[in-house]
Amino acid sequence: MATKSILKNVTISDKRLAHTFVDALSHTDQKYVPKELSRECRILTENCIKDFFGKTDK
């Protein structure tokens, strides 16, 4: 997901839909359960990514 897409303004004109949206947002923290990662997380440098995908000519 592009990061700019979460910065958009949303206008909800239907009162029922607005209440449903607020209710859904208020219940999101109740469903979150942190999980342990099953694989090792590592930081990739620019060179590692280029090596993985192969160097391209511009």
pLDDT in tens, 7-34: 778 888 999 999 999 998 888 777 777 8
CA dist 14 and 2 (Å) reads 27
Whether the full predicted model's pTM is greater than 0.75, yes or no, is no
Count of positions (residues) in the chain: 58
pLDDT in tens, 34-43: 888 888 888 8
HSE value, Cβ hemisphere, 13 Å, CA-based, for 56: 5
